[in-house]
Amino acid sequence: MATLKELSQIEERFTGGHRLCAGCGIPPIMRLILRAAGEHVVATTATGCLEVGTTIYPYTSWRIPWIHSAFENAAATMSGIESAYNVLKRRGKIAQDREIKFLAIGGDGGTYDIGFQALSGALERGHDMVYVCYDNGAYMNTGIQRSGATPFGSATTTSPAGSVHPGKQQRRKDLTRIVAAHRIPYAAQASPHNWRDLEKKAQKAFQIKGACFLNVISPCPLGWYTKPEDSIEDAKLAVETCYWPLYEIEDGVLKINYKPKEKKPIEEWLKKQGRFKHLFKEENRHIIEELQKEVDRDWETLLSLDGKRLF
């Protein structure tokens, strides 16, 4: 495990000058993950903020080989790249001692929703890759539409805070557990505020052979209606309220990596974000209560599974 000082000395391979918003959670996540990837890494990114914001032709933020092919197929595209590596190495076209890591990245839309099938297929086939989902809770690149990851009650442009339907009416998918159910060797949830934990998980994922998955919460000031300077704090609050628990499932065994000493009420996380503003109206308060119940129940379940073998 590298120290922060050591980490800071590794050459930056996700460069500045990109066009992601100020306070966006994606760049710090990407920088940490690329540092954990080792020297030789190839990446693909699904359509979304990261892709659009880092590669406006003829510029690129990527100092590693990188490809974008479409929205729903990062895992499938990487399946092809990883397979090419295997065969070209076998056929002597790549040096036998050249170890390359493979990184596929998607937003929550590209992972929970439209790219879910391709992800599931790639996990089942067991390609040696790390798939990272940066979950900002909506289709941000296209203007904040709801996704399968959008929190219950959240206002988006396709689940607006109306008088009849006050925000998203459905619960979010528990993608990390769904992914783990593919019996892959490693799946984890992380947050950029806890860089040490994220770094460690990324390193583990790159070390382990087979398909590994990281789900990382990614604050989005634009879509969350939060202050850019608060992003890391907002990510932290998601963890402190147990909305976004930090845990990993390694070889089938679940381990909670962080248990808040004092679990904060979900309200504390919600009230900072404009996307939940309507929930604080009297008639919508019950949604906050429901959300709190859901978070409590999920956290209880997780606690009951801590240290247990899931598969």
Partner 1 sequence: MATVTGTKKVVGLTGNSAIAYAMKQIDPDVCAAYPITPSTAIMEEFSGYYADGQVSTELIAVESEHSAMSACIGASAAGARVMTATSSQGLALMWEMLYVASGLRLPIVMAVVNRALSAPINIHCDHSDSMGARDSGWIQLYSENVQEAYDNLFQAVRIAEDKRVLTPVMVCMDGFITSHAIENLTLIDDAEVKDFIGEHEPAYSLLDTENPITVGAMTLPDAYMDIKHQQSKAIAASKDVVLEVAKEFEQRFGRSYGLMETYRLEDAEVCVVVLSSAAGTTKVAVDELRSKGKKVGLLKPRLYRPFPHEEIMEALKHCKAICVLDRADSMNGFGGPLFTDIRASLYDAPERPVVINRIFGLGGRDYTAEDAIGVYEELFKVVETGKVERLSAYLGEE
Stretch that binds Mg ion, among 17-25, 26-34, 129-137, 263-271 (CB under 5 A): 129-137
Scored b (16 or more CB within 10 A) or e, 198-220 reads bbbbbbbbbebebbbbbbbbbbb
Nearest residue (CB) to Mg ion, 75 versus 81: 75
How far apart are CB 96 and ligand SF4 at their closest, in Å?
Answer: 40
Q: Report the C-alpha gap between 220 and 22 in whole angstroms.
A: 9
Distance CA 196, CA 144 (A): 30
Nearer to partner 1 (CB atom), residue 60 or residue 145? 60
Q: Which is nearer to ligand TPP, 53 or 126 (CB)?
A: 53
Taking the complex as a whole, how short is the minimal distance between the CB of residue 254 and partner 1, in angstroms? 26
Query: Which single residue brings its beta carbon nearest to ligand TPP?
Result: 107
CA distance 60 to 54: 6
To the nearest whole angstrom, how small is the minimum distance from the Cβ of residue 222 to ligand SF4?
Answer: 4
Ramachandran angles phi, psi of 147, nearest 5°: -135, 180
Count Cβ atoms within 10 A of the Cβ of residue 264 and give its class: 0-12 exposed, 13-18 middle, 19 or more buried.
middle
Task: Among 80, 126, 160, 210, indicate the residue that binds partner 1 (CB under 8 A).
Answer: 80
Cβ nearer to partner 1, comparing 41 with 188: 41
DSSP single-letter state for residue 22: T
Q: Tell the smallest beta-carbon distance from residue 272 to Mg ion (Å).
A: 19
User: Which listed range, 36-44, 59-67, 217-225, 263-271, lies at the site for ligand SF4 (CB under 6 A)?
Assistant: 217-225
Task: Identify the bridge partners of residue 43 per DSSP, sorted by sequence position.
Answer: 66, 103
Distance CA 154, CA 137 (A): 9
Task: Determine the distance from the C-alpha atom of residue 181 to the mean position of all C-alpha atoms in its chain, rounded to a whole number.
Answer: 17
- Closer CB to Mg ion, residue 224 or residue 269? 224
- Is the preceding omega at residue 28 within 30 degrees of 0, hence cis? no
Do β-strands 247-250 and 253-256 pair in parallel, antiparallel, or remain unpaired? antiparallel
- Binding track, positions 133-162, relative to ligand SF4; x by CB under 6 A: ---x---xx---------------------
Q: Which two tokens stand for residue 197?
A: 């934990």
- Taking CB under 8 A as the criterion, the residue among 24, 30, 42, 130 binding partner 1 is 42
Closest CA to 224 of 144, 280, 158: 144
Tell me how far, at minimum, the Cβ of 8 lies from partner 1, in Å: 22
- Residues of span 100-139 touching ligand SF4 by CB under 6 A: 136
Residue 110 binding: pick among ligand TPP, Mg ion, ligand SF4, none (C-beta 5-8 Å cut-off by kind): ligand TPP
From the list Mg ion, partner 1, ligand SF4, none, partner contacted by residue 108 (C-beta under 5 to 8 A by kind): Mg ion
CA distance 196 to 193: 9
Q: Yes or no: say if 234 and 226 are a contact pair by the CB < 8 Å rule.
A: yes
Q: Could you list the residues that contact partner 1 (CB under 8 A)?
A: 39-42, 44, 51-52, 55-60, 62-70, 72-73, 75-81, 83-88, 90-91, 93-94, 98, 100, 117-118, 120-122, 124-125
Q: Which residues bind ligand SF4 (CB under 6 A)?
A: 20-21, 24, 26, 49, 53, 136, 140-141, 220-223
